[in-house]
Amino acid sequence: MQVLIDRYHPDTSPYTQCYDVDESMLSEGMMLLQLLQHLREQDPSLGFRSSCQEGVCGSDGMNINGKNGLSCITLVRDLGQRIHLRPLPGFAVIKDLIVDLGPFYQHYQAIKPRLAPEPSVAADLGQELLQTPEERAKLDGSYECILCGCCSSSCPSFWWNPDLFPGPAALLAVQRFVVDSRDIQRKERLEALNSATSIFRCRHIQNCTAACPKGLNPSRAIQALKHELLSQ
């Protein structure tokens, strides 16, 4: 088996390195992250991120054979005899498979991803904010995002306008609060998206939905936000 990895270091020119892997060291059910850890034992200079190794933290996002995903939940056996790993596209590369997610997090922070309840409720920390089962069900599919960046990194609108377009992950987060019955800033959240470089920059190519390792549908959430905005 061959594993090709796009290598980059600020002091050198980018290049692709090929690692030959003896298949005898591959175990049944081995994940790609485990294979990368094995390669780093051979080559300590190899750079990649990982943390929980359970598909929860989202830190090990990368481009795997042309599709964004998480190495910790990607089975090696599903990737064939030739694996090509690249850093997530659309972000500045720091080293090898490690990218600068700063702009991605800034967009997420800008949408104010926190509940805005009634002032009287916010002042009473002991008061519960109750929802009906139907109200709670509206949050399903929008709160499970792990901020791995795979969706935004697959979005052409984000590639072309990384400073202006919030990206699918941030817009999915907006949808989560817009439909939350406990939040009172619905109107303000929608109005903040009303520009040609914000939500209307999305062309619904649906790369984001295809890339999400958690099976979420940012494209559908963005479509719902557009409908809500135009219906005001």
- Is the pLDDT at 128 greater than 90? The verdict is no
Structure confidence at residue 113 as a pLDDT band (50, 70, 90): very high
The pLDDT tens digits for 130-174 are: 899 999 999 999 999 999 999 999 999 999 999 999 999 999 999
- Structural domain including 78 reads 2-99
Is 112 found in the same domain as 54?
no
Which positions ≥6 away from 165 have C-beta within 8 Å?
155, 157, 158, 197, 198, 201, 202
CATH of residue 181: 1.10.1060.10
pLDDT above 80: residue 19: yes
The predicted pLDDT at position 46 comes to: 96
Same domain, 129 and 141: yes
Averaged pLDDT score across all residues of the chain: 94
Average pLDDT rounded to a whole number, residues 200-214: 95
Q: For residues 159 and 147, state if they share a domain.
A: yes
Task: Please determine, for residue 86, whether its predicted confidence score (pLDDT) is greater than 70.
Answer: yes
Q: Are 97 and 87 in contact (CB under 8 A)?
A: yes
Residues 49 and 95 in one domain: yes
What pLDDT shows up at residue 122?
65
Same domain, 38 and 123: no
- Round to whole Å and give the CA distance between 4 and 36: 11
Structural domain count of the chain: 2
Measured CA to CA in angstroms, residue 141 lies from 101, 104, 112, 146, 164 at distances of 23, 20, 19, 12, 25
In this structure, the answer to whether residues 64 and 111 fall within a common structural domain is no
| More reliable by pLDDT, 197 or 63 | 63
Separation between Cα atoms, residue 62 and residue 226, nearest integer Å:
30
Cα–Cα distance measured from residue 71 to residue 63, given in angstroms and rounded to the nearest whole number? 9
Can you tell me the distance from the alpha carbon of 50 to that of 74, in angstroms, rounded to the nearest whole number? Answer: 13
The domain spanning residue 42 has which CATH number? 3.10.20.30
Does residue 49 surpass a pLDDT of 80? Answer: yes
Is there a single domain that holds both residue 57 and residue 162?
no
For 166-178, write each residue's pLDDT tens digit.
Answer: 999 999 999 999 9
Q: Is the pLDDT of residue 123 over 80?
A: no
